[in-house]
């Protein structure tokens, strides 16, 4: 089930923009909506906002919603969202 989007801090979002701008391969750790940690290594092709939610558009993977990202490269999300503890409203 899709959870309510929680905006990420601007400083952390800057890392998404930098990796997308330079097209460099990066390791991304993220949390699925089911609460499972996942890992992706590849290129961020673009960043998009749809319905007030921000997404990382990846080269060879489904988009990742920005608030799912726990870590990009060596940089950790200072306020990650724990999807497993969210209750539907």
89 residues of the chain, pLDDT tens digit each: 578 899 999 999 999 999 999 999 999 999 988 889 999 999 999 999 999 999 999 998 999 999 999 999 999 998 876 665 555 44
pTM (2 d.p.): 0.84
Answer CATH for 10-77 from 2.30.30, 3.30.70, 1.20.120, 1.10.10: 2.30.30
Beta strands in the chain (DSSP E): 25-31, 37-50, 53-58, 64-65, 69-72, 75-76
Are 60 and 13 in contact, with CB atoms under 8 Å apart?
no
Residue extents of the structural domains in the chain: 10-77
- Position 15 scores a pLDDT of 96
Rounded to 5 degrees, φ, ψ at 77 are: -70, 120
DSSP reduced 3-state for 76: strand
């Amino acid at each position: 089930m899709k959870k309510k989007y929680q905006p990420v801090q601007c400083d952390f979002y800057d890392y998404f923009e930098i990796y997308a701008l330079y097209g460099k391969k990066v390791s991304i750790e993220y949390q699925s909506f089911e609460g499972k940690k996942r890992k992706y290594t590849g290129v961020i092709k673009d960043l998009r906002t749809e319905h007030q939610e921000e997404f990382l558009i990846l080269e060879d993977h489904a988009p990742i919603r920005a608030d799912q990202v726990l870590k990009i490269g060596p940089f950790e999300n200072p306020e990650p969202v724990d999807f497993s503890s969210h209750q539907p409203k």
